[in-house]
Chains A and B, each alone.
Chain A
Amino acid sequence: MMPNPFNRRVALATALLVAVASAAVAERPEPEVHGTFDGDPMYTVLPVDAIPAIRAPEFLNGEAADGQMSPDEPVLGVEIAGESHAYSLWQLDSHEIVNDTVGGRAIAATW
């Protein structure tokens, strides 16, 4: 198996909503099927926006951010047209989606 720090660092995206949903589903063993897409069911687990996406992100520069970040904290980084933005995955755990604009481009960073 992989050593733990590496595991945390690159651990994945798509699993998170699943983790949040686990508790809800445990209380309700048969989740509602919203529909079937390409042969696979889509389940409704939580109401829309129950996990609040970030709509108006605020930023710090790298030096100021050292005060809120650990050196080994996992981040999602994106660079567009010379502009770089980083998002802490620990912070994204509670939001999953950041609606942002980087290098003039409207993007969504998701975890």
Chain B
Amino acid sequence: MVHAREVDGKTLTLLVSGKLWRNSLVMQDEETGTLWSHITGEALEGELVGTQLEIVPGVHTTWAEWKAGHPGTLVLKKSEEIKASRYERYFDDPERTGLFRANWLQDRLPGKTLVYGLRSGPHSVAVVAELLAGGDAVEVELAGETITLQQGDDGGVRAWRADGSAVDVLDVFWFAWSSFYPNTAVVD
């Protein structure tokens, strides 16, 4: 995910707090010590409670696809050679999900199912990622609006309203999405 790290005119440096909430990352800013939820961007504890980090659209794709779509891109420099994820086994093992069972974990899908999540106020919908893998467009209803999701030329999935305006999409495992949005609709 990508968050704006400016709140009330102050630029924050976000660190890994070492805390987990609803099986997901909690960030802590160096300037005020406020704890922030990764999934919602909301301040949970500290001076900046009542504020929220704005979510900026970012996409997950492969290096080849991203470069083809963004030839002028810059790339974070590696300080050493890294040839694989440290967590291959974690991703490949359907039994390993979060550490802690959330209060409202939903069993409607296997925990490791990848979904694209959309939210609007109290409304949320999860679209099973496999539906979009072939490049097909999928339309869903969210808070009374029709939203279209589709994988773009750079490999990233985006979502937009009928008027073309972008809607934030979160790609996430079902166990994490359902911990945050227990009443979510599901498109599978």
Contact = CB atoms under 8 A, between A and B. Distances in A.
Interface of A: 1-2, 4, 6-19, 21-22, 25, 31, 34-35, 37, 39-55, 57-62, 64-66, 68-80, 83-91, 93-99, 105-110
B103 interface: yes
Contacts of A77: 58-61, 66, 70, 73, 154, 156
A79 B21 CA distance: 29
Interface residues of B, number: 82
16 contacts: A6-B133, A15-B176, A19-B96, A40-B102, A41-B21, A46-B16, A53-B14, A57-B77, A60-B74, A74-B60, A75-B75, A76-B2, A86-B70, A93-B85, A97-B16, A105-B56
Contacts of A93: 85-87
A37 B154 CA distance: 38
A25 B99 contact: yes
A49 B30 CA distance: 10
Interface of B: 1-6, 11-28, 35, 38-39, 44-45, 53, 56-64, 66-67, 70-78, 81-88, 90-92, 94, 96-100, 102-103, 114, 129-130, 133, 154-157, 171-173, 176, 179
A86 B103 contact: no
A45 B82 CA distance: 26
A48 B20 CA distance: 11
